[in-house]
Amino acid sequence: MHENLIKGAIYGLAYGDAWGRITEFMPFGNMVPSIGFPDPAFVTDDTQMSLYAIGALMYEASMNPDALIGLHYDE
pLDDT in tens, 28-60: 777 766 667 778 888 888 888 888 888 887 888
* Average pLDDT of span 15-30: 79
- The reported pTM is 0.56
What's the confidence (pLDDT) of residue 2?
66
Q: Is the pLDDT of residue 75 over 70?
A: no
Q: What CA dihedral angle connects 39, 19, 50 and 10, to 10 degrees?
A: -70
Range 17-31 average pLDDT: 79
Distance CA 45, CA 37 (A): 18
Question: What is the torsion angle, in degrees rounded to the nearest 10, for the CA atoms of residue 49, residue 28, residue 9 and residue 21?
Answer: -50
Looking at this protein, which amino acid is placed at residue 47?
A: T
Across the range 2-20, mean pLDDT stands at 79
